Amino acid sequence: VKAQNLKNAVIVPVGAKGGFVLKAPPEDRQELREEVEDCYRTFVRRLLDVTDNIVGDEVVPPNRVVRYDGDDPYLVVAADKGTATFSDTANALSAEYGFWLGDAFASGGSVGYDHKTMGITARGAWESVKHHFREMGLDVGTQEFTCVGIGDMSGDVFGNAMLLSEHIRLVAAFDHRHIFLDPQPDPARSFAQRRRLFELPRSSWDDYDPEVISEGGGVWLRTAKSITLSDQGRHALDVEAETLTPDELIQAILRAPVDLLFNGGIGTFVKAHDETHADVGDKMTDRVRIDASELRAKVVGEGGNLGFTQPGRVEYALAGGRINTDAIDNSAGVDTSDHEVNIKILLDGLVADGELTRKQRNALLVEMTDEVAALVLRSNDEQNRALSRSLVHAHAMSDVLRRYLRHLDESGDLSRELEYLPDDETLVERRNDGVGLVRPEFAIILAATKTALYGKLLNSDVCEDPWLSRTLETYFPSILQERYPEEIRAHRLSREIIATRVANQVVNQAGTTFLFRIAEETGASAADIVRAHTVASAVFGLADLQAAVRDLDHRVPAATQTLMVVEGRRLVERGSRWLLRNRPRPLDISASTEFFGAGVAIVADLLPGPMHGADRRSRDQTSGTLVEAGVPVALAERVANLPALYAALDLVATADAVDEDVTVVTRAYLTLAQRLHLDWLRQQIVALPRDTRWQALARDAMRDDFDAQHRMLTAEVLRATDRGAEAQERVDGWLRRNAAQVRRCERMLAEIEAITSSDLAVLSVGVREIRNLVDVTV
């Protein structure tokens, strides 16, 4: 259930787990299947009996039902263990009841997206695998790597996953029937065998051609009393014993020193060292389960659910292992179902209006399969990148994270105890040890943050903003965007889709604590913060920057890519804060983007030309470091210019206030910074400690005050000088006319610069001197 709650962050409905138990299951296999399907019909009928329906445009409550909540006609069911082939059965019941969703009620049926055929769950998990290895400098699409796995080639997730790279060296695997061992696999020949088994109906590891297995390998039944290992097998698994029981061999496979452990099976195989088997609650795997501290695989991919306990994941990650959570890795299945349902709702409206036939609708669904998959996989990729960005400042932001976890717990958005998130004492201990939260923990927080934001957006009017309707359009495949734009905008679940997509975009881009911190600092609502972030992202071109950085995959180190995007994220965060403090709320997203967009672009084109002093040196150093790492010069310079680009908002606003061209304002602003050493003063303010909340608030307040004084000084200089002269001449003329005040300011700043370590009190004197210049200007 917890995994489902986390997956809800990327889909429209609030998903839940449901099921039923057969009290007297038949022993005959065919009779058992018929009994299960009959019970499933009863189960689904009862769900429909208490669910609202839509007839025409009216919500119709079910007969003889007393409702204690409001209208809620949205109910869909998805394939799961034991019911994976029952979608058509559920859809037949939907038709029988006249349920408004029709065959969108149960995704993945005969007229829907077959997850195994698409391989979508495996492909989604493989995005995580690729990301982990990319951070290690390895491309799984072109370089060989060793792997052990849980599952067999007849399974959807494991079977599809093991065909996603021809460079997999699958050393060992097991399922509920067999154990497979290939100590020195030939990548090409073993890939061909895995494909043959995948295409062979009801295959098992026993169908693997023994001629392809390397010397010392084999396939054994799990019911065998004992298994004698060859020297090659013992070397591959790094075990000393010559004879093992099947359970002991499975444990040896789980402990194998390989690059990847991929789970595509059923069961919980890894726990934390301080958990008991009873704590895990999966008796079927008690005999083979190991502790996370025993794992030697470098990367874990969780294609299956519940392969690890959450404490097990955390223990493995704290030891340096690369792992997310099952909810992150295998979310592509529910995401695909979500797209199918919403696409069918759209198309069924067209069928009802006579604009499409049922046959045309079905053909269109097939035509869009690849693009639906691409949309889903992009979500998996973005979540992985978001988690990596969260880790960059995990230790430095430990105080903020501690406060944020308390906030989530107190607001009911997350239970630290149930989600095995560290308490305050543990977080302090980790900080003292130089350790922060790890990926599996951030995965929980990421999902909880998205879910909480979704609810706040849905209860606001931000989903009606015309600008954000673009997120609704791009949720759908391009062919639907082109043919049916009006119908998309009128989609029955348009607000829910917008809220889901915006919540995902903002949290993925800005990070898990962004909204919490900005709300603390400004008192703004979630909707207002989202508006500001949307404007700042648009005017600073964050999406384009992220796309350009993504194109560098496997060309530059992944850590360099992450830091480049973090630099863009920092700029957008500061821009969001500026907009909330300097513009009236609620922001008109379209108007604000138009007002600032052109001017910010002009400033970006000017840089780094007018930059001087410390800012220019810092900028050139950043650019040089990125180029050395392999980043193209143009992109390296763009990223290096980002810190200076923050001032563009001030510059555009100032240009509007004094009725001057933004180019003139920019040159005057930067000339003042160079003449008065303001760039150095600003860098000292930015370098102030922010270990605690109060330090961070004090630093931000001083930085905002400094920026405001710099902006006002620029405006006063331009108002007091001749428009016909060059910007530098106007600044120099103003400095001469105000020489006495300028000399006092320069002396004070020189004294501050001579101090070895500047603190808040010292720097506040420097900001006051700038304010004095504004007050006495002539």
Task: Give which of 267, 222, 219 is closest to 245, Cα–Cα.
Answer: 222
Taking the C-alpha atoms of residue 474 and residue 100, their distance in angstroms, rounded to an integer, is: 25
Q: Reply yes or no on whether 17 is catalytic.
A: yes
Tokens of 162: 């093991």
Which helix (H) or strand (E) segment is 270 a member of? strand 270-271
3-state secondary structure 304-353: CCCCECHHHHHHHHHCCCECCCHHHHCCHHHHHHHHHHHHHHHHHHHHHC
User: Is the CB of residue 435 less than 8 Å from the CB of residue 474?
Assistant: no
Question: Which DSSP category does 710 fall into?
Answer: H
Residue 687 main-chain phi, psi, to 5 deg? -80, -5
Whether the CA torsion 129, 131, 133, 134 is positive or negative: it is positive
The answer to whether the peptide bond before residue 608 is cis (omega within 30 degrees of 0) is: yes
Q: For residue 616, how far is the Cα from the chain centroid?
A: 34
Question: Which DSSP category does 22 fall into?
Answer: -
Taking the C-alpha atoms of residue 691 and residue 693, their distance in angstroms, rounded to an integer, is: 7
Q: Which amino acid is at 133?
A: F
User: Is the CB of residue 555 less than 8 Å from the CB of residue 627?
Assistant: no
Task: Give which of 534, 644, 36, 26 is closest to 526, Cα–Cα.
Answer: 534
Give 479-514 as a DSSP string: HHHHH-HHHHHT-TTHHHHHHHHHHHHHHHHH-TTH
Taking the C-alpha atoms of residue 590 and residue 525, their distance in angstroms, rounded to an integer, is: 19
Q: What is the CA radius of gyration of the chain?
A: 30
> Helix crossing, 120-135 with 558-582: angle to 10°?
100
User: Taking CA 256 as the corner, what is the angle to CA 253 and CA 257, rounded to the nearest 5 degrees?
Assistant: 165
Taking the C-alpha atoms of residue 435 and residue 635, their distance in angstroms, rounded to an integer, is: 32
Question: Which DSSP category does 62 fall into?
Answer: P
Q: For residue 290, how far is the Cα from the chain centroid?
A: 30
Q: Of 17, 116, 130, 298, which is the active-site residue?
A: 17
Taking the C-alpha atoms of residue 270 and residue 415, their distance in angstroms, rounded to an integer, is: 23
Region of 641 (left: φ > 0; alpha: ψ -120 to 50; beta: rest) is alpha
User: Is the CB of residue 248 less than 8 Å from the CB of residue 289?
Assistant: no
Question: Which DSSP category does 229 fall into?
Answer: P
Q: Which amino acid is at 316?
A: Y
Taking the C-alpha atoms of residue 140 and residue 5, their distance in angstroms, rounded to an integer, is: 31
3-state secondary structure of 417: coil
CA distances from 533 to 442, 474, 528 (A): 21, 19, 9
Taking the C-alpha atoms of residue 206 and residue 586, their distance in angstroms, rounded to an integer, is: 65
313-333 per-residue burial string, b: 16 or more CB within 10 A, e: under 16? bbbbbbeebbbbbbbbbbbbb
- For 466, half-sphere exposure in the C-beta direction (CA atoms, 13 angstrom radius) is 6
Reduced DSSP (H G I as helix, E B as strand, rest coil) percent helix, strand, coil of the chain, to 5:
60, 5, 35
Taking the C-alpha atoms of residue 510 and residue 256, their distance in angstroms, rounded to an integer, is: 38
Taking the C-alpha atoms of residue 237 and residue 603, their distance in angstroms, rounded to an integer, is: 59
Taking the C-alpha atoms of residue 474 and residue 621, their distance in angstroms, rounded to an integer, is: 38
Taking the C-alpha atoms of residue 249 and residue 255, their distance in angstroms, rounded to an integer, is: 10
Catalytic residues: 17
